[in-house]
Chains A and B, each alone.
Chain A
Amino acid sequence: NAGVMQNPRHLVRRRGQEARLRCSPMKGHSHVYWYRQLPEEGLKFMVYLQKENIIDESGMPKERFSAEFPKEGPSILRIQQVVRGDSAAYFCASSVLAGVNNEQFFGPGTRLTVL
């Protein structure tokens, strides 16, 4: 039973380019959470999605960032027109049930570097 998969593991982009980060949850999990870890900081919640729905995006920057979790395929975190401040590690987690009283399983993260 594969764990949460994220790809790519490392992504380098130049300022102004787009970054697409993918997250495949564990089999049978329909809840996905995205977190960001900026250098020297802790994990910060970005967005919570269920299949085809955004449930809570209160941690997502208002501009340039978007997330989706389609009926088929992985969840995608998209960052348009990247800036140096977007350089961070982006983690996704999945859970089988709704609610933060349930265990979340984390992926290995995507490390984004913006040149």
Chain B
Amino acid sequence: ILNVEQSPQSLHVQEGDSTNFTCSFPSSNFYALHWYRWETAKSPEALFVMTLNGDEKKKGRISATLNTKEGYSYLYIKGSQPEDSATYLCAFAAGTASKLTFGTGTRLQVTL
């Protein structure tokens, strides 16, 4: 059974704050790591798909890093805005598996 852990479980920041969360996954047999953004009552939206150790990806104010050797990925949000409020999910794939194992998410709330 693969264990994908996300921390913190929830986070409350002020507008303008920068923040980051962690996704931990098994360090052996890595294949891919996905980050999703999931707003209430909407569909999960893909942010990044990361496959190489040391990968860094950026989309606007959001960026992510990947360390496959130690089994973690960080998601950073610079200058948080209220519209960033959502649950951020990571999902891990091992070896040649054809499925993703999701973490339970970090729920971010950004207030004015």
Q: Write the residues of chain A forming the contact surface with B, with a CB cutoff of 8 angstroms.
A: 3-4, 33, 35, 41-45, 48, 55-56, 58-59, 91, 93, 98-109
Contact = CB atoms under 8 A, between A and B. Distances in A.
B64 interface: no
Contacts of B36: 106
Contacts of B91: 43
Interface stretch (B10-18, B19-27, B42-50, B78-86): B42-50
SS of A interface (majority): loop
Contacts of A103: 34, 46, 49
Interface residues of B, number: 23
A108 B101 CA distance: 19
Interface in B65-112: 89, 91, 93, 97-105
A100 B104 contact: no
Contacts of A3: 43
A55 B102 contact: no
Interface of B: 31-32, 34, 36, 42-46, 49, 51, 89, 91, 93, 97-105
Contact of A101 (B44, B45, B49, B102): B49
A101 B42 contact: no
A108 B42 contact: yes
B43 A108 contact: yes
Contacts of A105: 43, 46
B105 A100 contact: no
Given A4-B43, A100-B97, 9 more contacts: A35-B102, A41-B104, A55-B98, A101-B49, A102-B49, A105-B43, A106-B36, A108-B43, A109-B43
